[in-house]
Structure 1
Amino acid sequence: MTNLKTITMFFFFLIYVTSLSSIIHCRTLIIPNGESLMESTCRRTPNYNVCIQSLKANPASSNADVNGLAQIMVKVMTSKANDAINMIHQLQRSGSSSQKKALSSCASKYNAILIGDIPQATEALQKGDPKFAEDGSNDAANEATFCENEFNGKSPLTKQNNAMHDVSVVTAAIVRNLL
């Protein structure tokens, strides 16, 4: 009888520990009726429209989990950074000498995004370390803002800088759902 009692207690203890572990490791994302994970996730970002437009442009987003949505947004960041770099190179070829220093500074900032921030975010998401992905996304947003400020009010890169900033802060907000 004692062995049966011990086995039963052990069994209930094991169930308790397993359920406690599940509660600790599981973050539940509550999705309102009729809303997709993408829509629900985008509502938790600072710019719903940028989020939805960016994600809907990629067919894989309809079946992605939150990590997948974040990875798609990192790819959007890459595209926006490349757009900015291309514009910078175009302006450097045809631009005035008064903007040369600011354009050069912006080129280095966008190179930092492409060489440092985006690979950091990508690797962190792949390894399950969302904090570093959030940091990389926020750094990219800051670099875009710093580039914009290089021009002291009349930036030829406002469109690209705003797009980069907005996509980056949306990415950071999506990644925060993984923390």
Structure 2
Amino acid sequence: MANLKAVILCLFLEAIVVMNTIPGNECRSFHPNDESLIESTCKKTPNYNLCLQYLKASPGSSTADVRGLALIMVNVIKAKAYDTLKIIHDLQKKGGGPKQQEALSSCASKYNTVLVADVAQATEALLKGNPKFAENGANDAANEATYCESDFSGNSPLTKQNNAMHDVAAVTAAIVRLLL
């Protein structure tokens, strides 16, 4: 538990640093047609409605460029991973058979990988202008969710969370791909 708190603290501090390192000249002033960038971007993803839902809910999306929209979606991946880890830890505390505990432990490891490796890789790559590595990070997050689901052999208590992570990561990868 102490390790998870340390990871969460590190990621929180990293997010603060990332938000403070985006140069001011990367921001655009608001224009009424900025919403059309969100819509045209989301049309190029595998889940238009999900894309719109998350991007329109983010305060900075109306002034963001495509890279900014991708960064917003990487933050959605991060939030989903945190939420899923909390659910996993709650399920672990409730107990269950050894197979379920083993699967939950495996899933916790996978979602920690999403937070520590995939989100960090995608964020850094987007900030440094290397979208291919950002796409890899998003695709890896989708894969980790799929692998977690398969750990349960059809009886997963995390199906909703795994599907949500997979879908958000696929949308993120599609947005990043527009930068290639």
TM class by shorter chain equals 0.7 to 0.9
State the identity as a percent.
Answer: 68
Give the secondary structure class of the aligned counterpart of 2:140. helix
Q: Does 1:36 align with 2:36?
A: yes
**Residues 35-44 or 169-178, more deviating:** 35-44
Question: Corresponding residue for 1:126?
Answer: 127
Compared CA separation, residues 35 and 59, structure 1 to 2 (3 A): closer
Letter matched to residue 65 of structure 1: D
- Runs of 4+ off more than 6 Å: none
Residue 35 of structure 1, CA deviation? 6.4
Give the secondary structure class of the aligned counterpart of 1:111. helix
Letter matched to residue 117 of structure 1: D
TM superposition score normalised by structure 2: 0.79
Q: Name the CA distance, whole Å, in 1 between partners of 2:94 and 2:119.
A: 29
Question: Corresponding residue for 1:174?
Answer: 175
Question: Corresponding residue for 2:54?
Answer: 54
Question: Corresponding residue for 1:75?
Answer: 75
Give the secondary structure class of the aligned counterpart of 2:121. helix
Question: Corresponding residue for 1:158?
Answer: 159
Per-residue CA deviations over 1:11-40 (Å, capped at 9, x if unaligned) read: xxxxxxxxxxxxxxxxxxxxxx99610000
TM superposition score normalised by structure 1: 0.80
Question: Corresponding residue for 1:108?
Answer: 109
Letter matched to residue 171 of structure 2: V
Unmatched 5+ stretches in structure 2: 1-32
Residue 57 of structure 1, CA deviation? 1.2
Give the secondary structure class of the aligned counterpart of 1:59. coil
Letter matched to residue 81 of structure 2: A
Letter matched to residue 111 of structure 2: Y
Q: Name the CA distance, whole Å, in 2 between partners of 1:64 and 1:70.
A: 9
Per-residue CA deviations over 1:99-136 (Å, capped at 9, x if unaligned) read: 10000000000000000000000000000000000000
Question: Corresponding residue for 2:85?
Answer: 85
Letter matched to residue 139 of structure 1: D
Letter matched to residue 50 of structure 2: V
Q: Does 1:146 align with 2:147?
A: yes
RMSD: 1.3
Kept in 1: contact 2:66–2:179 (CA 8 A) = yes
Q: Name the CA distance, whole Å, in 1 between partners of 2:63 and 2:34.
A: 15
Kept in 1: contact 2:34–2:63 (CA 8 A) = no
Q: Name the CA distance, whole Å, in 2 between partners of 1:95 and 1:169.
A: 32
